[in-house]
Amino acid sequence: EMSEMSERSQQNVAHGLAWSYYVGYLKIVLPRIKKSMEEFSRANPHMLVCKETWKLHILVPLNCDICDDLEKADSNIQYLTDLPETTLTRAGTKKRVYKQSLYTIRDEDNKLWHCAVEYATPLQSLYAMSQDECAAFSREDRLEQAKLFYRTLEEILKGSGECAGTYRLVVYEESGEAETHFLSREILWHLRQQRHEEYAVNEGNQLDNPSTTPISTELNLQISESDLPLPLRSDGF
């Protein structure tokens, strides 16, 4: 009975998506990301100068609207190349390929930054559900589930020792007004913050508060109690 109630209210959707994303993808690729970045850096020593940014930058738009082509989402973001891929046999598929793309981000001074970046693909499922009448999934449900997905994924990754220092979650909510370079500015803020962190560590100084903060830090990510996943047991424990 508890399980049926939970399914009717979609309370376990985001929780399940976050765990599936971690177990089926991030747990595989994140422990290998630094090695891939290191291999690329050896061949291109002037591109990835800041080791603190040798992470997979995972975009988490709370409206779940994902653009398959980042270059179309923001002209200041340009595809550069693919990092060395990982090939594994998974679930009956021989030589399944896992790879991440490296992008060039152009800032307001025409300076070029480089990083591995991609969207959190499970958000596409949340968006598709909100567009399908059969799912009975409203836009409000989608927003709450996107927040829950982010919070759940953040907690999972924080508890994963093998993924420590290999990722950066870039959560954001676009304003109603169309901003041509909104996405590149969000990514650039995180890149600058990481460079500042590396500089502070190398210099032995404490990290100062940045003068500007991205929109993502101002987001209200609180989730109502009713949106938390419910236990399937009904024995009170």
pLDDT tens string 168-202:
999 998 766 667 899 999 999 999 999 888 666 55
Q: Residue 229 pLDDT > 60, yes or no?
A: no
* CATH no. for 9-202: 3.40.50.12100
pTM of the full structure: 0.81
In this structure, how many other beta carbons lie within 10 angstroms of the beta carbon of residue 97?
A: 10
60 neighbors 168 (Cβ within 8 angstroms) = no
Dist. CA 143–CA 228, nearest whole Å? 13
Q: Is the pLDDT of residue 17 over 50?
A: yes
Half-sphere exposure of 104 (CA within 13 A, CB side): 11
- Cα 143 to chain centroid distance, Å, stands at 16
Query: CA dihedral defined by 202, 208, 212, 213, rounded to 10 degrees?
Result: 90
- 82 touches 187 (CB < 8 A): no
